[in-house]
Chain A
């Protein structure tokens, strides 16, 4: 890849579609692996993206999952036109969840997703307006910690 050139990949994901939930993240993961991003970084990107993708499917009735890979970093943007988050501070706390029972039965809804995105990414930003939607942006530097 040449300097300041980037590879982009974006997917619309449908709300409540648990059959295909995670496909966007899986494709982004494959792409990043292919272009040679270090495995430990790819793993963090995949986890952060998957958490955000699941949230859009579970809480927002669908949205968009996009990746832009530069030479030195990858930026993930996950956006939706869902209900928005009334109290972002609260939503960012471990254990806070409004996930319904059928989602918990699938193994989700522990209120760990947003804290995990913060933890996995090098930069995390969330913008949410009630009644308008939510946009999450995560930046991951391509500097491996694996020696």
Chain B
């Protein structure tokens, strides 16, 4: 599945990164906790979140996320969208809640990151 499919499934608005919708979505994570995103995701994960601050974009940059879906129709500030554009990070916005968003994507076949896939390094 790619971001274009995600956009259709969620009837989402593309806020930035419209040119990057061919990106493949491997796994998904639904969280408002950046601590968990940093610890329990792998590369090319799609993040669904209710948070819209600058730290979400920074966290996405550090963890090589493929895109962010902002739930409940929220729109991040211009500053946050600019930072995302700079980092080639697409941001989509959907009217659905976090629960429904994750449910729709799960039903379409996307799964979460397995814990063993997130255990970094040689430990």
Which residue of chain B has the shortest Cβ distance to A22 in the bound complex?
Answer: B58
A82 within 8 Å of B by Cβ? no
Q: Is the CB of B58 within 8 A of A47?
A: no
A89 within 8 Å of B by Cβ? no
Interface of B is mostly: helix
A88 within 8 Å of B by Cβ? no
Which residue of chain A has the shortest Cβ distance to B50 in the bound complex?
Answer: A107
B36 within 8 Å of A by Cβ? yes
A87 within 8 Å of B by Cβ? no
Q: 1/0 contact trace for B43-63 toward A, CB 8 Å?
A: 100000001011110110111
Contact count band on B = 20 to 34
Contact of B62 among A26, A39, A115 (CB under 8 A): A26
* 6 A–B pairs (Cβ distance < 8 Å), ordered by A: A44-B120, A106-B53, A110-B33, A112-B38, A112-B39, A119-B123
Q: Is the CB of B38 within 8 A of A106?
A: no
Q: Give bound CA distance, A135 to B31, whole Å.
A: 30
B122 within 8 Å of A by Cβ? yes
Q: Is the CB of A107 within 8 A of B56?
A: yes
Q: Give bound CA distance, A136 to B62, whole Å.
A: 19
Q: Give bound CA distance, A111 to B36, whole Å.
A: 10
B34 within 8 Å of A by Cβ? yes
Contacts of B123 in A (CB 8 A): 118-119
Q: Which residues of B contact A (CB under 8 A)?
A: 32-39, 43, 51, 53-56, 58-59, 61-64, 119-123
Contacts of A44 in B (CB 8 A): 120-121
Q: Is the CB of A107 within 8 A of B32?
A: yes
Q: Give bound CA distance, A129 to B61, whole Å.
A: 32
Q: Give bound CA distance, A51 to B37, whole Å.
A: 12
Q: Is the CB of B121 within 8 A of A121?
A: yes
Contacts of A118 in B (CB 8 A): 123
Q: Is the CB of A43 within 8 A of B43?
A: yes
A116 within 8 Å of B by Cβ? yes
Q: Give bound CA distance, A21 to B34, whole Å.
A: 13
Q: Is the CB of B38 within 8 A of A26?
A: no
Which residue of chain B has the shortest Cβ distance to A97 in the bound complex?
Answer: B35
Contact of A26 among B51, B61, B120 (CB under 8 A): B61
A70 smallest CB distance to B (angstroms) = 17
